[in-house]
């Protein structure tokens, strides 16, 4: 069951990769996530002539979900044309914003591994830090 969902997310991420707009890097990425309510959202990277305006696949998927009212991600799968692609630092921060115990699925439809955010983003600064300043 869990395996089926992971595989499905990998396949959806692979499909989303097909829409990547990558005229500058030629590095296509796809992401697919499932929210705590069971909805699936996908995203691809979208580049810009002003390189800094580029949006990664992970954040595209997350922002689509959040803008539809979702606030918690349970799993997010990431694929590129490499065997493994890990989320960039900014995406790790955004994943942390919208998750508690998220699984991050790295690889491709044939072979993938499941990691926690703590594996990828230990000692992170989060809203918990902002809450703990209250009353100090
Ligand atoms: N990129 C992603 O979309 N996600 C990642 O996890 C790594 C990097 C994109 C950003 C840019 O469009 C291209 O890959 C090269 O950095």
Domain harbouring 98, CATH code: 3.40.140.10
Count of Cβ atoms closer than 10 Å to residue 25 Cβ: 12
Identify the band that residue 71 occupies on the pLDDT scale cut at 50, 70 and 90. very high
Whether residue 58 contacts residue 31, with contact meaning beta carbons closer than 8 Å, is answered with yes
Give catalytic status of residue 134 as yes or no: no
User: pLDDT digit string (tens) for 17-48?
Assistant: 999 999 999 999 999 999 999 999 999 999 99
User: How far apart, in whole angstroms, are the C-alpha atoms of residue 127 and residue 76?
Assistant: 20
Closest residue by CA, ligand 1 atom 6: 87
Ligand 1 center to 27 CA (angstroms): 7
- Structural domains in the chain (count): 1
pTM of full prediction above 0.85? yes
* Average pLDDT for the chain: 96
Residue 86: domain span: 2-134
pLDDT at 109: 75
User: How far apart, in whole angstroms, are the C-alpha atoms of residue 81 and residue 100?
Assistant: 29
């Amino acid at each position: 069951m869990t395996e089926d969902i992971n595989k499905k997310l990998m396949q959806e991420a692979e499909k989303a990769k097909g829409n990547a707009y990558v005229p500058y890097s030629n590095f296509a990425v796809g992401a697919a996530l499932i929210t705590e309510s069971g909805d699936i959202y996908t995203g691809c990277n979208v580049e810009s002539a002003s390189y800094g305006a580029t949006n990664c696949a992970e954040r595209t998927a997350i922002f689509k979900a959040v803008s539809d009212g979702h606030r918690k991600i349970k799993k997010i799968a990431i694929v590129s044309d490499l065997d493994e692609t890990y989320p960039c630092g900014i995406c790790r921060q955004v994943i942390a914003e919208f998750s508690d115990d998220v699984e991050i699925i790295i690889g491709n439809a044939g072979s993938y591994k499941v990691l926690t955010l703590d594996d990828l983003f230990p000692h992170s600064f989060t809203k918990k830090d902002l809450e703990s300043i209250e009353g100090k």
